[in-house]
Amino acid sequence: MENTITEVLYLISIVIFIIGLKGLSHPESARKGNLTAGAGMGLAILVALFAPIAGGDNNYQWIVGAMMVGSIIGLIAAKRVALTSMPEMVSLFNGLGGATAMIIGFVEFYNLSAGQEMMSATVLTNLFALVVGAVSFSGSLIAWGKLNGSLRDSLKLPLPHVINILTLVAIIGFSAYIMMQPTLPFNLVILLTALSLFYGIAFVTPIGGGDMPVVISLLNSFTGIGAAGAGLIYANHVMIIGGILVGASGTILTVLMCKAMNRSLLNVIIGGLGSKGSGAGSDREQVIKEANSGDLAIQLKYASKVSIVPGYGLAVAQAQHVCHELEHTLEAEGVEVKYAIHPVAGRMPGHMNVLLAEADVSYDKLQELEQANEDFNSTDVVLVIGANDVVNPAAKEDSSSPIYGMPILDVEQAKKVVVLKRSMRSGYAGIENPLFFGENTNMLFGDAKESLNKLKEEVKNA
């Protein structure tokens, strides 16, 4: 009877989790979906805590103690993290999920009974959770280091793709060899764990910073698959289904982001966007035309339609609230204001959506790439705030560019383009942007928050 109640409660938590995941498919319902999924996971944790274990000891003092420590750390981290550091935090938390699957697989090998048949589903499942979890853990840590800038240039491996292939072959070979043994060779399990951790490092290291959103999504899918493997070890339906959902959604998101960049996943992994030079460059005359905030304010005030392209620089300047205030100021003057969102803008999937949601920007004002590109022809002024690679014409003009073929926001189609930047430094992909030298482009240098504040006041007084 107790087992039946447990399974029913697990089923309820799974349904709640799926409903929450469905809510994440749209920005307007994302917050509610996140809370719903959290409630489902909370129910699953409670059920797992109090579910009967045949002949087992729950060790509640250790479990509750670990949960309290983890909850306190997670709460403090989530409260203090800035939106500019959100991608690093997502990558770090994702890595901890992979570490959990790795530890479960390792501990289950340590506790494996002496008479266990090695050529079995149990051993295969342990190996799967161990390897995938270790790759996700170490790979996510490298992604975290790349995102915060500490590992962008400091960690390089010679012949990275050769090392990747050899390491992967060694992992498969050791796994097969372990299963062919009459008894468990625990020393080889330790070596396999080390190889898997190294593979995660070698796998992510050569991938350039411009591809980090795709890598985060891919590693997230790895963590989900690893969690599903850990669920198989314990025959826990919530872990299995939850892991499958996370793995599947992460894989789908990875494919969609690759499509948005017009590149295959293999090209992302091998190409290393952002780790190389800028290609042949542009044949445009490199003349910079600086904008005057007073003149720009008049142009904005008397424009019919204005489009804002947010980028990582907007998050760095913490200017999303001021940008929203400028939007209100322009709308009070009868100007139509929209936000053009590129799928891979920022440092993680949906980064700009989260940034603008924090400032209470209406979801109706957000335009996806295709819709925004259709509207640029009828747009009077485009404000590009901190974005670089997602508006770079080199993606269409320079076949030697690392981003060649990637769909971009065609801001040059508008009558006027103003780029707000601190300097002429290249974007995260490390390549020059010919847009800055365009005939209808002006540069407004300075801190984005200060520039937008000044524009807002001058629009009011114009």
| Residue 441: both structure tokens together | 């482009």
**Identity of the highest mean pLDDT range in 21-30, 81-90, 179-188, 284-293:** 179-188
Of 154 and 325, more confident: 325
Q: Is the pLDDT of residue 326 over 70?
A: yes
Q: Is residue 13 in a domain?
A: no
Q: Which domain covers residue 408, as residue numbers?
A: 293-461
Q: Is the pLDDT of residue 131 over 90?
A: yes
Q: Is the pLDDT of residue 280 over 60?
A: no
Residue 24's nearest CA partner among 39, 11, 35 is 35
Given 238, 271, 304, the domain boundary residue is 271
Amino acid in position 346: G
Clarify whether 283 is annotated catalytic.
no
- CA dist 280 and 398 (Å) reads 7
Number of domains in the chain: 2
- Mean pLDDT, rounded, for 38-45: 90
Q: Is residue 405 in a domain?
A: yes
Give the β-pairing of 416-421 and 381-385: parallel
Amino acid in position 230: A
Residue 416, beta-bridge partner list: 381
Both 90 and 225 in a single domain?
yes
pLDDT band per the 50, 70, 90 thresholds, residue 2: low
Q: Is the pLDDT of residue 144 over 80?
A: yes
Both 263 and 302 in a single domain?
no
Both 171 and 110 in a single domain?
yes
Angle of helix 60-80 relative to helix 86-110, nearest 10 degrees, comes to: 160
The pLDDT tens digits for 250-260 are 888 888 878 77
Both 222 and 317 in a single domain?
no
Q: Range with the lowest mean pLDDT among 83-92, 147-156, 184-193?
A: 147-156
The CATH number of whichever domain residue 311 belongs to comes to 3.40.50.1220
Q: Is the pLDDT of residue 407 over 80?
A: yes
Q: CB within 8 A of 399, min separation 6: which ones?
A: 279, 280
Q: Is the pLDDT of residue 17 over 90?
A: no
Both 229 and 319 in a single domain?
no
- CA dist 155 and 137 (Å) reads 17
Contact criterion met (CB below 8 Å) for 392 and 433: yes
Given 223, 238, 271, the domain boundary residue is 271
pTM for the whole structure: 0.77
Percent of the chain with pLDDT over 90: 36
Both 303 and 253 in a single domain?
no
Q: Is the pLDDT of residue 282 over 70?
A: no
pLDDT band per the 50, 70, 90 thresholds, residue 270: low
- Mean pLDDT, rounded, for 313-322: 89
Owner of token pair 């161990």: 130
Q: Is residue 59 in a domain?
A: no
Both 445 and 381 in a single domain?
yes
- CA dist 344 and 161 (Å) reads 25
Q: What is the pLDDT of residue 365?
A: 92
Q: What is the pLDDT of residue 39?
A: 93
Q: What is the pLDDT of residue 289?
A: 87
Contact criterion met (CB below 8 Å) for 65 and 93: no
Helix (H) or strand (E) holding 357: helix 351-358
- CA dist 363 and 219 (Å) reads 28
- CA dist 330 and 325 (Å) reads 9
Both 241 and 348 in a single domain?
no
pLDDT band per the 50, 70, 90 thresholds, residue 136: very high
Q: What is the pLDDT of residue 277?
A: 46
Q: Where are the beta strands (DSSP E) in 292-375?
A: 305-310, 336-340, 366-367
| Residue 287: both structure tokens together | 């003349």
- Mean pLDDT, rounded, for 322-350: 89
Both 245 and 306 in a single domain?
no
Q: Is the pLDDT of residue 274 over 70?
A: no
Owner of token pair 């003092």: 61
Task: Please pick, among 295, 375, 380, 389, the residue that the annotation labels catalytic.
Answer: 389
Q: Is the pLDDT of residue 13 over 70?
A: yes
Residue 100's nearest CA partner among 61, 124, 127, 129 is 129
Q: Is the pLDDT of residue 247 over 80?
A: yes
The pLDDT tens digits for 362-393 are 888 999 889 999 999 999 999 999 888 889 89
Both 337 and 255 in a single domain?
no
Q: Is residue 45 in a domain?
A: no
Length of the chain: 462
Q: Is residue 213 in a domain?
A: yes
Q: Is residue 65 in a domain?
A: no
Sheet architecture: strand order including 366-367: 366-367, 336-340, 305-310, 381-385, 416-421, 441-445
Q: Is the pLDDT of residue 275 over 60?
A: no
Q: What is the pLDDT of residue 378?
A: 94
